[in-house]
Chain A
Amino acid sequence: DIQMTQSPSSLSASVGDRVTITCRASQSISIYLNWYQHKPGKAPKLLIYGASTLQSGVPSRFSGSGSGTDFTLAISSLQPEDFATYYCQQSYSTPWPFGQGTKVEIK
């Protein structure tokens, strides 16, 4: 199976900061990479699919980039509602594993 590794596992940041999260696949997955935001007690939310396509309704401060094995999620200016856990997930081959998550906390 393809393994997905996210870094960092957690980070502290302030409102207004630029934040980047990295996801690495154990083998090439082209651009079959998705990003989700998850808040406790809520449904996970799809932010980006196909490595860089913003899901409808997602603010433009979120962006995704990368291809092959290395991918990045960027938040250009962190807002209070962005404090959450973020997961990458490959949709190249089943069983479509997720990364272990990156928790974004308030500094």
Chain B
Amino acid sequence: QVQLQESGPGLVKPSETLSLTCSVSGGSVSSVSYYWSWIRKPPGKGLEWIGHIFYTGTTNYNPSLKSRVTISLDTSKNQFSLNLTSVTAADTALYYCAREFRRGTFDYWGQGTLGTVSS
């Protein structure tokens, strides 16, 4: 059974960088069959896809966040990570990592981690 678990600092100051990691078990981030995505849900709002990465390192980002987002892969640890720079209160959200088993379709998700931006 594939499992994903997000981790990272829960509190970040405005203008700093939010860094999160997703640890994958029961599957490999080196698989040729899947992309690995980050998705977030701000309080009171809907879900928003942030971006994804393929085992080759190829990435694709939501244009609304593209200038501030980097997603990277660590195959030795079977993890992938999210860096979101220059954060503001609008970036406060539950952040989920997910496996994309077909184009734009997410079959396994982590339980989410709260990222709060506050001074």
Q: What per-residue 1/0 map shows which CB atoms of B33-66 lie under 8 Å from chain A?
A: 0000000000001111100000000001011100
**B107-A55 in contact (CB<8A):** yes
> Of A41, A43, A87, which is in contact with the most chain B CB atoms at under 10 Å from its CB?
A43
* Neighbouring B residues of A52 by C-beta, 8 Å: none
Verify if A98 is at the interface (C-beta below 8 Å from B).
yes
**A91-B49 in contact (CB<8A):** no
**A98-B46 in contact (CB<8A):** yes
| B interface residues, Cβ below 8 angstroms from A | 4, 45-49, 60, 62-64, 96, 98, 102-112
Can you name the residue of chain B whose Cβ is closest to the Cβ of A93? B104
Main secondary structure of the interface of A (DSSP, over half): loop
Verify if A32 is at the interface (C-beta below 8 Å from B).
yes
**A101-B111 in contact (CB<8A):** no
**B60-A94 in contact (CB<8A):** yes
* Neighbouring A residues of B46 by C-beta, 8 Å: 87, 98-101
Can you name the residue of chain A whose Cβ is closest to the Cβ of B60? A94
Give the distance to chain A from B112, nearest Cβ to Cβ, in Å: 7
Cβ contacts A to B, 16 pairs, < 8 Å: A32-B104, A34-B106, A36-B106, A43-B108, A44-B96, A46-B106, A46-B107, A49-B102, A49-B105, A87-B46, A87-B47, A89-B47, A91-B103, A94-B49, A97-B48, A98-B49
**B111-A43 in contact (CB<8A):** yes
**B102-A95 in contact (CB<8A):** no
| A interface residues, Cβ below 8 angstroms from B | 32, 34, 36, 41-46, 49, 55, 87, 89-92, 94-101
A107 to B87, CA, bound (A): 40
A68 to B104, CA, bound (A): 17
**A96-B109 in contact (CB<8A):** no
> Of B4, B109, B110, which is in contact with the most chain A CB atoms at under 10 Å from its CB?
B109
Known: A89-B47, A94-B49, A101-B46. Contact between A44 and B109, CB under 8 A? yes
* Neighbouring A residues of B104 by C-beta, 8 Å: 32, 34, 89-92, 94, 96
Can you name the residue of chain A whose Cβ is closest to the Cβ of B3? A43
